[in-house]
Structure 1
């Protein structure tokens, strides 16, 4: 078992994101997971990301607040405990349009070259 305490989580900057603090909860450390990493993204009101895509799929889980996910012009609002999968290469934009911080768990497989 690999335990990582919240106070030991390191922040990271994700490209093409704004108004967000990202914390790496699991992944990229000795003894950690070998097939995915887990981050906690805390988006301020007006924060967001994109439009962009990635070569691997992503899973978003809303822990608190809400997030608007925009794919092909269609907007979907995710609220507490809602989740979605963003397939590899799907262009998406996300926006926190509320006045509350949105806490979102992000699960991403490692790219093949970093395994």
Structure 2
């Protein structure tokens, strides 16, 4: 069992993101998860990420607010408690087009060791 208090979460900067403050809730620490890490992102109005892709899947869970996600010429708005799985290699872009902060959990596998 590994308990980590919110006050202990460390900030991180994600590449190709803007208008966002990220905190690592779990991962990359002794006793923590062995196959993925969990981030908490707070996107200001107009904040977002991409377009880009990763070689691994990830999961987004919107906790509060809304986030527009675009991929393959499609667009959807995720709202509180909506989630999505982004498959490996899928190019996507996200943007908070609302006037409220969007709070999101992100679950990402660790990069391959090499």
Distance (whole Å) between structure 1 residues aligned to residue 76 and residue 35 of structure 2: 28
Runs of 4+ in 1 over 4 A off after TM superposition: none
Alignment gaps of 5+ in structure 1: none
The residue that corresponds to 1:110 in the other structure is: 110
Q: CA deviation at 1:112?
A: 1.8
Distance (whole Å) between structure 1 residues aligned to residue 112 and residue 15 of structure 2: 19
SS at match of 1:29: coil
The residue that corresponds to 1:49 in the other structure is: 49
Alignment root-mean-square deviation, CA: 0.8
Distance (whole Å) between structure 2 residues aligned to residue 25 and residue 43 of structure 1: 16
Distance (whole Å) between structure 2 residues aligned to residue 73 and residue 64 of structure 1: 25
User: Normalised by the size of structure 2, how large is the TM-score?
Assistant: 0.98
The residue that corresponds to 1:88 in the other structure is: 88
